[in-house]
Structure formats: C-alpha cells, structure tokens
Amino acid sequence: MVDLFAGTHLLGSWSGLLASLVLASLLVWLLPRSSQPKGKVPASLPDWLPGVGNAYRSIFHNRDFLDFARKNMKGRSIMKFWLGPKGVYLVTGAKNSQAILRNSGNLSSDELFFMVLAQLDAADQKDIDQFRADKSGRSHIPLNPVGPAGRIWEQNHRIFTDNLTTSKSVGVMIDKFLELFTATLEEQFPVGQSKSLRLYSFLKQEMARCAIVSLSGEEILKQNPGFIDAMWEFDTYVYPLIFGVPRLLYPKAYAARDVYHAMGAKFLTAAWEKFDWTSPDVDADWEPIFGTRFHRTHSKFLKDRGFALCTRSGMHIGTIWAQNANCLPATCWALIELIKDKSLFAAIRAEITTALDVNGKLDVKKLAELPLLQSVYVETLRLHVAVNITRQITDEMVLDGYTLKKDYLVQTPSLISHLDESIWSEPGHPASEFWAERHVTYVNTVDESGNQIRERQFSLAGRAGSFFPFGGGISICAGRHFAKQEVMAAVAFVVLKFDIELEGYVTMDGKMSERGPLDDAWYCGTAAMPPDRDLLVSLTRAG
Ligand code: HEM
Ligand SMILES: *[C@@H]1O[C@H](CO)[C@@H](O)[C@H](O)[C@H]1NC(C)=O
Ligand SMILES: *[C@@H]1O[C@H](CO)[C@@H](O)[C@H](O)[C@H]1NC(C)=O
Ligand SMILES: *[C@@H]1O[C@H](CO)[C@@H](O)[C@H](O)[C@H]1NC(C)=O
C-alpha cells in the first residue's frame, strides 16, 4: 500500500484516489471477459489488488507496473492483463517488438489515434465520427473503397508528412528555431558574465518559447500570456487523460485540459480574423500568425471539411504539446550528461566546432551528422523515452507461438527493448547506464594529407530494430526529424557558447536536494520522461 500512495499529490486528493480505485474495480468486474480462444494462450498477469486488475497501477504507476510485469513474466514473452474494459497483451522481446512494428496487416494504430483525438485533442464527437466513417485509411493507397465524403484521413495525414516531416519543412523550422534561441541566449547572457539558474526550469520557458514560435508563430503566445505554463500543467495529466479517466473522478486533469484548450480556441479565432487568405502569405514558409505552413494548411483543411473549432484548435495545441513534452526533457537529459562529465563536454565541444560555417554559425545539416553528438542523442532517447507502442488486433494473429485474439490491444513498451542487456550491453557498460560512445565505432582511414587517422562513425547497426522512441509504421512520429535537429542544435549552441558549473540539485519547487535527477516515473509510458530534480548551474558565456 505504501507504494500505492507515492505520488498521490498528483491526484489532488484522497477522494480522487479512492474514486479511481473504485472505478477501476467496477470496470473490471462489470465488463464481461470474453471466452478463451483455442491454441497456446498467453497467461494472465496476477491481479495486483484482488478485483482491481492492473488498470489503476498501469495507468498511475506505469514504471512500477513494468517492474511487476517483468518479475511475473519469468521468461514468458507475452502475458495478458486488463486495462479497464480492454484486454491487453503485453509483448516483450526485441524480435516480437519488431514484428509488431512491422505488421500492418493484422494490427492497427487507428484506435490510438481516436483515443488521442477524443481525450487529448478534446475533439467534437461528430468530427471523430467523420474520421471513423472514412474507411479508406491513412495511407496513400486506399485500404477500402473511398466513401462519398472523399479521403479525409489520408489528406490529414499528408499535411503532417508534407509540412512537418519533409526536410524542407524541417529546414524552415530549424532555421527559425536557431535564430530565436541564439538571440534569446545572447540577449540574456552578455559575454563574460555569469548567471545562476535552474536548468530545466529555464529550458521549459525559454527553449519552449523559441520552439513554439518556430513551429506555430507568435500569435498563440500573444493571445495567451500564460500559454507555456498551461501547456506544462496539461502535460502533467496526459497519461490518465489518454486512458479516459472520467472527469468526475479526476477533475484536476480536465481543468488543466480545459484551460489549455480555451487558449487554443482563442488563438485560432484570432488567427482566422487576422490572417488574410488572399495575401501571398498563404504560401509563405513562415509568417507570424500561423508560423510554418503546417498550421496554416491544417487549419484550412479542417475548416473546409467542416470540423468544429474545438477539434481544430485541439489538434493544433496537441501538436505543440507533442513537440515540447518530448524535446525539452531530451535536451535537458543530454545537457545533464555533459555537465556531469567534463571530458565528454570538451569532446563534444571540439566535435561541434567542425560543424560551423564560414560565419562561425552552426550548420545544422553538418551538426546532425556528427558521430559523438548523434550517439549522445540516441543514448538519451534510449534511456529516457518510455513509450508504449499500442496497436489493436484487427485479425487474429500468431506471435511467438501465441494466439492473439481480435479486438485486444497489444502493447510493447520501449523501455523493455531499450534496456535489453543482450542487445545493448558492452563490457563495462551495462544497458542501464549512459555511455556516450555506445553508438560510435572507430575506423582507420587516411586524411587529405595522407596521414593515418582514426575516425569516429555513428552506428546503430544490428540494433536499430530495438530502438523505437518514435514508434513505427503509419503512426510514426511526424516530428522525428525536427526533434533530432532541434535537440542537437540546442545542445550544440549551449555547449559551444557557455562554460557550465554545477552548483547543486533542487526539487522542482526549488528546495535543495541531496541527490541528482532521476526519470520522473509519473511520465513513464507517454514518451520522454523529464528529470525529477533540477540542476542549479552557473552559466558563463564563453564567446
Ligand atoms: C524526442 C522527441 C520526440 C519523441 C520521443 C516523440 C515520440 C512520439 C511517439 C512515440 C509518437 C507515437 C508514434 C506511434 O504511435 O507509433 C509520436 C507521435 C507524434 N509526434 Fe512525436 N516525438 C518527439 C518529438 C516531436 C516533435 C518535435 C513534434 C512536432 C514538431 C512531434 C509531433 C508528433 C505528432 C504530430 C504525432 C502524431 C502523429 C500522427 O498521429 O500522425 N513529435 N511522437
Ligand atoms: C504502456 O504499457 C504499460 C504496460 O503494458 C501499460 O500499463 C500502459 O497503460 C501503457 N501506456 C500506453 C500509453 O499505452
Ligand atoms: C507544404 O506542403 C505543400 C503541399 O504538399 C508543399 O507544396 C510545400 O512545399 C510544403 N512546404 C513546406 C515548407 O513544408
Ligand atoms: C493475419 O491474419 C490473417 C487472416 O486475415 C491470417 O491468415 C494470418 O496468419 C495472420 N498473420 C499472423 C502473423 O498471424
């Protein structure tokens, strides 16, 4: 029981906690459990509290749940548990994870899309039904005959890939981001002066602001002065929201969602009033009202298709959340590793100087190819991104000798593959530890003057299938290329321009702490886990 109450501050009240438990047990007891199929059947995980199933624990204590699951699986690769009304197969093992990521015939990520649309984006039910009614799917080739309303889902998806994922769109965003980030830091830190600050708190405001403006323009922040704080408050509740904990039982989560969504609606209303759809800005790479092409195109598409304001604004601020809730923790963790290890900091700084252009500015294309920096980036995501690849079984299938039934969910948690010793371990460097050189190999070659040199190369050879921080298949993260460049550019700029001294650790509300940061397990399951302690650092602008 002790474990159960750790972290209840986030539930707001004891009554909230009790209510959740009652709900979980009701769901598990009221809903019929369907009959067992024939053949090899995955065993069930033991119920953690009798009658309550694992719903409460898997949602509110995901990391504990995974430890619990690992202990109970005892070598079995697939087990079953109940997530409220949903039967879920928990799948582990690198080979099985890859099979799930690859299989698009018997598995679908559509249900997850609907859960996000309903629960995070707070979309109008009519709009969700419109997506559901389009059976032709997200991919270019229609899965089923196209209905009378035409292709909705595929066009929506295409806007994400064309105006968020392509190298052209990433280039526009990253140039804007770096311009803003450079200006912000240069303005706040005159050369030669030192300033103490809390690292993560600083990034959560200043880097987030640059990232938001680079993707989504200036209007959203102008309309809503508290937008960034509201986004982080919303971020706290994403996990229980996705799984549809009812409003009555968890009012705080919905209050945070309501505040964030009201800001999205205010932004969108103002943007549509101000923006001139007959001006050349319609095709601009970036303009201040909608930012990049992405929101402008998406906004117009959704309006033309008759989607409600709440759906349209919800999808906008959902993307802004996805952008920041992952890149900010990743950037902070990479910096934490470099601050802790002075020789690594120096090696990275030396490597970054090879990616400067003739004007002394960072060349992001070159930067993204640096072997050691890439290795640090991958190592950061490997250790701190805890995401569940969740799919719905659309056709009974066989996996690792087990029969998996239609309509169940399969989940394969990234942490299990990301921490698999048999894949990642190297002598002296177990998978559980950060090791900057894990994804670097050395090759002997000759330079232009004919001298023998040892060259670093980045390599994920043989391991790429066990690394899936961005998911996979049709629902793979649309922001993955931007994320890599944003995180690497932010880290590079800070390392290049600042000397950093660690002064101590503080809790997130500013009290001194004896220990350094660990992953905040509250966020386990949604993607990047932020640190649970902040670093008090002194920054001195070096050049
Ligand atoms: C290190 C940073 C990031 C991580 C670890 C991450 C992770 C993920 C994951 C795991 C998914 C779900 C994939 C699936 O279900 O198969 C996802 C979806 C998504 N991400 Fe990211 N993400 C990151 C950065 C970003 C950024 C920077 C943006 C926007 C600029 C973004 C926008 C999105 C969007 C829009 C989706 C939904 C895609 C869709 O449904 O079509 N993400 N992300
Ligand atoms: C992730 O997986 C764990 C363990 O299977 C489960 O408890 C949790 O609800 C899942 N979360 C998501 C976002 O699918
Ligand atoms: C956005 O998408 C459109 C349509 O696919 C494409 O023509 C345009 O080049 C894209 N622009 C950017 C900056 O992403
Ligand atoms: C997927 O479903 C089809 C039936 O639609 C079945 O024939 C096939 O064996 C299934 N695939 C796997 C891997 O079980």
Please report, in range form, the residues annotated as the binding site for heme: 477
Centre of ligand 1 to C-alpha 86, Å, is: 24
Give pLDDT, residue 17.
41
**Residue range 168-175: mean pLDDT, rounded:** 97
Give pLDDT, residue 93.
81
* pLDDT over 80 at 137, yes or no: yes
**Residue range 343-352: mean pLDDT, rounded:** 97
Distance, in Å, from the CA atom of 251 to the CA atom of 255, rounded to the nearest integer, reads 6
* pLDDT over 90 at 182, yes or no: yes
Tell me the residue range of the domain where 470 lies.
Answer: 9-541
* Residue 88 alpha carbon, nearest atom of ligand 2: 5
Say what percent of the chain tops pLDDT 70.
87
Q: Atom 6 (ligand 4): residue with closest C-alpha?
A: 397
Give pLDDT, residue 216.
98
**Residue range 96-101: mean pLDDT, rounded:** 88
Query: Does any ligand 1 atom lie closer than 6 A to the CB of residue 527?
Result: yes
> Total structural domains in the chain?
1
Q: Atom 10 (ligand 3): residue with closest C-alpha?
A: 163
pLDDT in tens, 429-453: 999 999 999 999 999 989 889 999 8
3-state SS class at 518: coil
Distance, in Å, from the CA atom of 266 to the CA atom of 279, rounded to the nearest integer, reads 23
Distance, in Å, from the CA atom of 516 to the CA atom of 535, rounded to the nearest integer, reads 8
Query: Does any ligand 1 atom lie closer than 6 A to the CB of residue 377?
Result: no
Beta carbons of 87 and 409 less than 8 angstroms apart: yes
Q: Atom 5 (ligand 3): residue with closest C-alpha?
A: 162
Residue linked to tokens 């902040």: 534
Written in H, E and C, the secondary structure of 432-444 is: CCCCCCCCEEEEE
Give pLDDT, residue 97.
87
Residue linked to tokens 């899936």: 468
442: tokens are 């050395």
**Residue range 132-139: mean pLDDT, rounded:** 90
* pLDDT over 60 at 78, yes or no: yes
Distance, in Å, from the CA atom of 321 to the CA atom of 235, rounded to the nearest integer, reads 7
Centre of ligand 3 to C-alpha 280, Å, is: 14
pLDDT in tens, 389-423: 889 999 999 999 999 999 999 988 888 889 989 89
Q: How many CB atoms within 10 Å of residue 222?
A: 13
Tell me which DSSP letter residue 447 carries.
-
* pLDDT over 90 at 222, yes or no: yes
Q: How confident is the model at residue 57 (pLDDT cuts 50, 70, 90)?
A: low
Q: Atom 2 (ligand 4): residue with closest C-alpha?
A: 395
Mean pLDDT of the chain: 87
Give pLDDT, residue 56.
54
Residue linked to tokens 């994403």: 238
Query: Does any ligand 3 atom lie closer than 6 A to the CB of residue 172?
Result: yes
* Residue 215 alpha carbon, nearest atom of ligand 1: 30
CATH number at residue 329: 1.10.630.10
Output the CA–CA distances (angstroms, integers) from residue 103 to 371, 410, 446, 468, in the order listed.
31, 12, 44, 15
Query: Does any ligand 1 atom lie closer than 6 A to the CB of residue 177?
Result: no
List pocket residues of ligand 2, CB cut-off 6 Å.
58-59, 62, 65-66, 83, 90, 242, 388, 390, 411, 413, 525
Sign, Cα dihedral of 191, 192, 195, 196? positive
**Residue range 122-128: mean pLDDT, rounded:** 95
* Global confidence as pTM: 0.88
Distance, in Å, from the CA atom of 206 to the CA atom of 168, rounded to the nearest integer, reads 25
Q: Which of 235, 221, 227, 224 is CA-nearest to residue 290?
A: 221
Could you write out the DSSP letters of every residue in 306-365?
Answer: T--HHHHHHHHHHHHHHHHHHHHHHHHHHHHHHHH-HHHHHHHHHHHGGGB-TTS-B-HH
On whether residue 1 sits in a domain, the answer given is no
Q: How confident is the model at residue 70 (pLDDT cuts 50, 70, 90)?
A: low
* Residue 173 alpha carbon, nearest atom of ligand 1: 30
Counting ligand 1 atoms within 8 A of each CB, the residue from 152, 411, 477, 485 with the most, and so the one to mutate, is: 477
On whether residue 2 sits in a domain, the answer given is no
Counting ligand 4 atoms within 8 A of each CB, the residue from 106, 108, 402, 405 with the most, and so the one to mutate, is: 106
On whether residue 3 sits in a domain, the answer given is no
pLDDT in tens, 489-499: 999 999 999 99
**Residue range 138-153: mean pLDDT, rounded:** 88
* Residue 83 alpha carbon, nearest atom of ligand 2: 9
On whether residue 4 sits in a domain, the answer given is no
Could you write out the DSSP letters of every residue in 240-282?
Answer: HHHTT--GGG-HHHHHHHHHHHHHHHHHHHHHHHH--TTSGGG
Ranking 101-110, 276-285, 350-359 by mean pLDDT, the lowest is 101-110
Q: Find residue 90's DSSP bridge partners.
A: 79, 411
pLDDT in tens, 188-210: 999 888 999 999 999 999 999 99
* pLDDT over 60 at 4, yes or no: no
pLDDT in tens, 453-481: 899 999 999 898 899 999 988 899 999 99
